[in-house]
């Protein structure tokens, strides 16, 4: 039997003693009173799970006691004991919140059973309440994690906190590690002058105490009552308060405060527990938001950096390729065939460098979310056929066949022709890269609502363990040390971004050693003419 | 003979473009920064401006805007030629930056010449 606390009130001392005896034997913690008023004083100081109260008593009767108890401690269950049970008094007491009533003289087994059932119901109700609280905290945490900016996060956090715990005002202070001071970051419903200038040293005042000791404080009857903080926080308007540390892995990063301006006993131990859980979640949200901000900042820097790098790389490349271009096209009669051949090698490799630089730039644009797709009506059949022809020499060089299964009739889609061509070139390029013998087949199929383009090869295929990573940026099937092919590992990730920017899909089928087929689809937007 | 203003701060690239244009039969003027470009556009009245974007003193965006604001220069066709990739859409969408051509560096010399001829043909 759990040690629930029961209060027995009866003006007959004998009955009180008898009940105390019986209940103690059952394992309950029991207190008995013969005077209703004394009993009520006790209820103000201690929490009881259940009160057994006699209906007819001098000074104050059972109904009055019931009313008072429900006022100060609504969670405490009350059972009325009466020798003069009438339907009226029974109904009245139950209306006022009593769990049940028992008639005197009572049967002990009957009494114990009623007690047991009542306490069981009470613990069930508490469980449900806890679940409800957990759900509300979960909701709050969800809301917090969807928050992006720190300031926005704090404001929302404080508002939700007041709502969930039915409080009036709240604030959040963050710890500056260097100066060991707390600074107010945000507050809700508080009238603070020069809030941003307020600094509280660790160890000073209430917030400083919590930052030093790391425990949640529950301050009832006004914040000045606790001897530790007497005269430290002269704010009589705060009737009841809770202060919790914001901790990440035992490291305190700040303090969260919550106040009630209405009621000296507004918060109980239950709220204190919930508040602590809330503070733990809030600390994690603060950490995430800080990390996110840092990441975003780095991301911006990275995009800018890549953009600059590509510019810096392109400038000398322009001079190189421009010079070669001029020599080969304008001064070609001034140079020998041998030199011409060497210059052609230089040209091919500078073209290759340009392609790589462009790839990085495109990638950084996608990363920064500034890849612009300018759609127009294009004939995808024509585009695929054209691309196949442009790449035919590359296939010939590797002695691979390049077959077309593209229908002769035009298929119109709304798309960015350059970008879609980039995808086709990339896919065929990959097939050429990974196929040693056999060939590549490129085709277009018109379905009801979309058009599917495929590139099928007889290459090495994709190993099982790589299949779910293949569209990830920087991923390369071969590890860089035993590198057999060139590239940055961003081609497919780029293709995916481009296709998805067209509301299409990209996927593949592959068997190791037999080959791969890559597909991408583009929706056909029916013109509403 | 059409007169082309080459606005470009990289001397090597200037030399390449200049050589190619002269071979193709154009007259050339050179400006090595944004301010010089504006000055020469007004004083020398070129038939076309080949405009780089990242230049000292004044960037190509500003140069282009100022050219379009000035009655004396607003009708001179401009071909943007930049190593700062991905600006094509910007130059075609933004009203104040509208240009007659756009080339990304590195460019193929023949393509550059063809583009210049195309733009000049359109304007005349």
Q: What is the SS3 assignment for B105?
A: coil
Contact B78, B7 (CB under 8 A): no
Q: In this complex, do A322 and B17 lie within 8 Å of one another by their Cβ atoms?
A: yes
What band does A397 get if pLDDT is binned at 50, 70 and 90?
confident
Q: Which candidate, A394, A468, A469, A481, places its Cα nearest to that of A432?
A: A394
Closest CA to B33 of B11, B12, B15: B11
- Any chain A CB within 8 A of the CB of B95? no
**Which among B12, B23, B84 has CB closest to A330?**
B23
* Whether pLDDT at A451 is above 80: yes
- Residue A343, min C-alpha distance to chain B (Å): 15
Kindly list the distances between the CA atom of residue A60 and the CA atoms of A37, A305, A476, B92, in Å, as whole numbers in the listed order. 7, 81, 84, 89
pLDDT of residue B122: 57
| Assigned fold of A5-129 | Rossmann fold (3.40.50)
Q: CA-to-CA distance for A110 and A104, rounded, in angstroms?
A: 11
Of B85, B89, B109, the CB nearest to A310: B85
> Mapping DSSP to helix (H, G, I), strand (E, B) and coil, where does residue B117 land?
helix
On whether any CB of chain A is under 8 Å from the CB of B103, the answer is: no
Chain B residues touching A330 at Cβ < 8 A: 19-20, 23, 109
pLDDT at A205 over 90: no
What φ, ψ does residue A87 adopt, rounded to 5°?
-55, -40
Q: Do B85 and A372 touch (CB under 8 A)?
A: no
- Structural contact between residues B77 and B120, judged by C-beta atoms closer than 8 angstroms: yes
| B60-78 pLDDT, tens digit each | 888 998 998 999 998 999 9
CATH 3.30.450.40 maps onto chain A at 144-294
The domain defined by A376-523 folds into: Heat Shock Protein 90 (3.30.565)
pLDDT at A528 over 50: no
- Could you give the percent of chain A with pLDDT greater than 70? 92
Using CB atoms, pick whichever of A307, A314, A361 lies closest to residue B106. A314
pLDDT of B53 strictly over 90: no
Tally of CB atoms within 10 A around A142: 10
The larger pLDDT score, comparing residue A282 to residue A7, is at A7
Asked if B22 reaches chain A (Cβ–Cβ under 8 Å), the answer is no
Pick the CATH number of B3-16+48-123 from 1.50.10.10, 3.10.290.10, 3.40.50.2300, 1.10.8.50: 3.40.50.2300
Residue A203 has pLDDT above 90, yes or no: no
Which residue from A minimizes the CA distance to B84? Answer: A311
Going from the C-alpha of A51 to that of each of A5, A15, A60, A401, A484, the distances in angstroms are 9, 14, 15, 92, 82
Query: What integer pLDDT is reported at residue A107 of this predicted model?
Result: 83
Residue among A308, A315, A364, A422 with most chain B CBs within 10 A, to mutate:
A315
Q: Which residues contact A166 (CB under 8 A, 6 or more apart)?
A: A266
- Nearest residue to B55 via CA among B28, B31, B19, B85: B31
The angle formed by the CA atoms of residues A89, A55 and A27, to the nearest 5 degrees, is 120
Asked if the C-beta of A370 comes within 8 angstroms of chain B's C-beta atoms, the answer is yes
Least confident of A366-375, A398-407, A412-421, A427-436: A366-375
Spatial contact of B57 and B35, defined as CB atoms under 8 Å apart: yes
Cβ-contact A230, A224 below 8 angstroms = yes
Look at residue B24 and tell me whether its pLDDT is greater than 80: yes
A361 and B109 in contact by Cβ < 8 A?
no
DSSP secondary structure of B65-101: HHHHHSTTTTTS-EEEEESS-S-HHHHHH-GGG--SE
Q: Is the pLDDT of residue A479 over 50?
A: no
Whether pLDDT at A481 is above 50 = no
What average pLDDT score do residues A361-380 get? 76
Q: Do A330 and B86 touch (CB under 8 A)?
A: no
Q: How far apart are CA A143 and CA A147, in angstroms?
A: 7
Domain A299-367 grouped into CATH 1.10.287: yes
Question: How is domain A144-294 classified at the CATH fold level?
Answer: Beta-Lactamase (3.30.450)
Q: ∠ CA(A365), CA(A368), CA(A369), 5° rounding?
A: 85
pLDDT surpasses 50 at A1: no
* Cα B70 to Cα A380, B8, B38, B41, distances in angstroms: 44, 21, 10, 10
| pLDDT at position A220 over 90 | no
Q: Which of B10, B54, B110 sits opposite A319 (nearest CB)?
A: B10
Is pLDDT of A38 > 50?
yes
């Amino acid at each position: 039997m759990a040690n629930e606390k029961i209060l027995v009130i009866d003006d007959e001392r004998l009955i009180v003693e008898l009940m105390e005896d019986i209940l103690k034997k059952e394992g309950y913690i029991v207190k008995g009173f013969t005077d209703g008023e004394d009993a009520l004083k006790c209820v103000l100081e201690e929490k009881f799970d259940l009160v057994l109260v006699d209906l007819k008593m001098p000074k104050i009767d059972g109904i009055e006691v019931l009313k008072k108890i429900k006022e100060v401690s609504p969670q405490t269950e009350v059972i009325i004991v009466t020798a003069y049970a009438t339907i009226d008094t029974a109904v009245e007491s139950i209306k006022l919140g009593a769990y049940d009533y028992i008639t005197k003289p009572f049967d002990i087994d009957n009494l114990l059973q009623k007690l047991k059932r009542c306490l069981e119901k009470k613990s069930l109700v508490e469980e449900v309440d806890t679940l409800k609280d957990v759900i509300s905290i979960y909701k709050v945490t969800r809301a917090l994690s969807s928050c992006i900016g720190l300031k926005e996060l704090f404001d929302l956090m404080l508002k939700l906190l007041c709502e969930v715990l039915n409080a009036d005002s709240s604030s959040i202070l963050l710890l500056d590690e260097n100066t060991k001071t707390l600074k107010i970051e945000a507050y809700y419903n508080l009238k603070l002058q020069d809030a941003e200038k307020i600094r509280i040293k660790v160890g000073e005042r209430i917030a400083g105490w919590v930052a030093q000791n790391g425990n949640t404080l529950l301050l009832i009857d006004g914040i000045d009552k606790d001897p530790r903080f007497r005269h430290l926080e002269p704010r009589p308007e705060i009737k009841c308060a809770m202060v919790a540390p914001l901790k990440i892995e035992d490291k305190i990063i700040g303090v969260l405060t919550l106040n009630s301006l209405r009621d000296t006993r507004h918060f109980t131990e239950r709220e204190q527990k919930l508040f602590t859980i809330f503070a733990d979640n809030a600390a994690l949200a603060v950490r995430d938001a800080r990390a996110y901000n840092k990441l975003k900042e780095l991301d911006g820097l990275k995009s800018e950096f890549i953009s600059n790098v590509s510019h810096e790389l392109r400038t000398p490349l322009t001079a190189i390729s421009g010079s070669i271009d001029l020599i080969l096209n304008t001064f070609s009669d001034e140079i020998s065939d041998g030199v011409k051949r060497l210059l052609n090698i230089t040209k091919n490799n500078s073209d290759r460098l340009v392609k790589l630089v462009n790839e990085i730039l495109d990638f950084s644009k996608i990363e920064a979310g500034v890849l612009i797709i300018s759609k127009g009506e294009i004939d995808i059949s024509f585009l695929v056929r054209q691309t196949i022809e442009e790449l035919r020499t590359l296939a010939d060089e590797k002695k691979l066949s390049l077959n077309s299964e593209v229908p002769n009739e035009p298929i119109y889609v709304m798309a960015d022709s350059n970008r879609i061509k980039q995808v086709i070139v990339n896919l065929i390029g990959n097939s050429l890269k990974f196929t040693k013998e056999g060939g590549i087949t490129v085709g277009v199929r018109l379905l009801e609502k979309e058009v599917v383009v495929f590139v099928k090869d007889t290459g090495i295929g994709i190993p099982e363990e790589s299949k779910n990573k293949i569209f990830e940026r920087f991923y390369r099937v071969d590890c860089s040390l035993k590198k057999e092919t060139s590239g940055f590992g961003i081609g497919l990730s780029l293709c995916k971004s481009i296709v998805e920017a067209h509301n299409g899909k990209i996927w593949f089928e592959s068997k190791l050693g037999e080959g791969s087929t890559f597909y991408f689809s583009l929706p056909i937007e029916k013109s509403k003419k | 003979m059409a007169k082309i203003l080459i606005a470009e701060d990289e001397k090597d690239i200037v030399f390449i473009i200049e050589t190619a244009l002269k071979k193709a039969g154009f007259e050339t003027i050179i400006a090595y920064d944004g301010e010089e470009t504006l000055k020469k556009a007004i004083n020398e009245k070129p038939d076309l401006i080949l405009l780089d974007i990242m230049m000292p003193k004044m960037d190509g965006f500003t140069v282009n805007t100022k050219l379009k604001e000035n009655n004396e220069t607003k009708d001179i066709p401009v071909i943007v030629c930049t190593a700062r990739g991905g600006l094509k859409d910007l130059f075609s969408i933004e009203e104040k930056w509208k240009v007659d051509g756009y080339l990304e560096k590195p460019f193929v010399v023949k393509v550059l010449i063809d583009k210049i001829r195309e733009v000049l043909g359109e304007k005349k």
